[in-house]
Amino acid sequence: MLVLAIETSCDETAAAVVRDGRTILSNVVSSQVKDHAVYGGVVPEIASRKHLETIPAVVGEALRLADVTLDHVEGVAVTQGPGLAGALLVGLSVAKSIAFARGLPLAGVNHIEAHLAAIFLEREVAYPYLALVVSGGHSHLYRVDGIGRCTTLGQTLDDAAGEAFDKVAKLLGLPYPGGIEIDRLASAGDPDAIAFPRPLLHDGSFNFSFSGLKTAVLSAVKKQGIPEGEKLADFCASFQKAVCHVLVEKTFRAADATGIDRVVVAGGVACNSALRREMAHAAAARGVELMIPSPSLCGDNAAMIAVPGDYYLRCGEQGGLALDARVNWPL
Ligand code: KG4
Ligand code: ZN
């Protein structure tokens, strides 16, 4: 089935054409980062307006790059939530219009489910697997038994991992979005220079908490001022190590506890070079199979929406024209 997928849950306007939920024919992502950077974070009203301005060209480009027209498309998949209400509504309206005008089936997709299924665009994965989804809005650990069959093992009790990266970057005076900037600076730093706390590391649960770590960073900055040069690199590397340590430990403890020896890491923070490296070390040491999508499929994109989308369209589980945005939509 040839699916046109649309994603507008946050600050990326994205459209993709995917065959059978597996083969990417095109995957166009137009980032609004520059429009939000001046405010130090995503401004929901600006996000909606930018989606509205950009989406016709993004959908057109996705069709053009795939070398197809709407005549070839057999189904439409769209992010229904979770995300920013106004931003989601833009994608939903466009998807509904196309589906209505062309008489196509339409499926609403959960953005988090799409993140943890993105790996199928690069390889098959046997069920069950454990999935750590770490993004700007989520830090969740799931047991995945199939599409639509996810069990939450743990989640953040406060900030998401990406949110912690972005807030700490802001405290350090780094540009938005901060995660990628901390990753870049950390590559020249000593990760053992500062012993930042590892929240909830030994609490026996699979939950996370990053706000205490953010407070530790804030008090360090208050005491010594914003570090510069080598000290800034050490600071970033030490903070990054603290976040990665907790994510890696909890994920592999969940693998031990459940006996599941397949782990998928997904979401924007899965682009982090230290997390990829530390996950790979831990997986090799424990004989666990680790799968992390290529960075372009970890961050927000529309191709990943087509993976569960294709499945739901085939099952006939379609929201159709009655689909409404689900701002909060736990898996
Ligand atoms: O999945 P995503 O693109 O959007 C959401 O659904 O939230 O994730 C965005 C998050 C941001 O917080 C960003 O700072 C973080 O992913 N991020 C990174 C890196 N690249 C993106 N965090 C750490 N290191 C990176 N290299
Ligand atoms: Zn996302």
C-alpha 112 – ligand 2 centre gap (Å): 7
Q: For position 317, what pLDDT does the model report?
A: 81
21 lies in some domain: yes
Where is mean pLDDT largest: 38-47, 203-212, 271-280? 271-280
Burial 109-128 (b: 16+ CB within 10 A, else e): bbbbbbbbbbbbbeeebeeb
31 lies in some domain: yes
327 lies in some domain: no
133 and 12 in a common domain: no
76 and 40 in a common domain: yes
309 and 243 in a common domain: no
Cα–Cα distance for residue pair 109/51, rounded to 1 Å: 18
pLDDT at 75 over 90: yes
Would the CB of 135 count as within 6 Å of ligand 1? yes
Q: For position 234, what pLDDT does the model report?
A: 98
279 and 165 in a common domain: yes
8-state DSSP, 193 = S
Number of domains, the chain: 2
**Given the CA of residue 267, which atom of ligand 1 is nearest to it?**
1
Q: For position 81, what pLDDT does the model report?
A: 97
Query: pLDDT by residue (tens digit) across 194-216?
Result: 999 998 988 999 999 999 999 99
273 and 146 in a common domain: yes
CATH of the domain at 231: 3.30.420.40
137 lies in some domain: yes
Would the CB of 136 count as within 6 Å of ligand 1? yes
177 pLDDT band, cuts 50/70/90, is confident
146 and 80 in a common domain: no
- Please state the residue numbers annotated as binding site for substrate: 133-137, 166, 179, 183, 272
Q: For position 285, what pLDDT does the model report?
A: 97
Three-state SS for 253?
helix
**Cut 0.90: pTM above it:** yes
Percent of the chain whose pLDDT exceeds 70: 100
238 pLDDT band, cuts 50/70/90, is very high
ipTM computed for the complex: 0.98
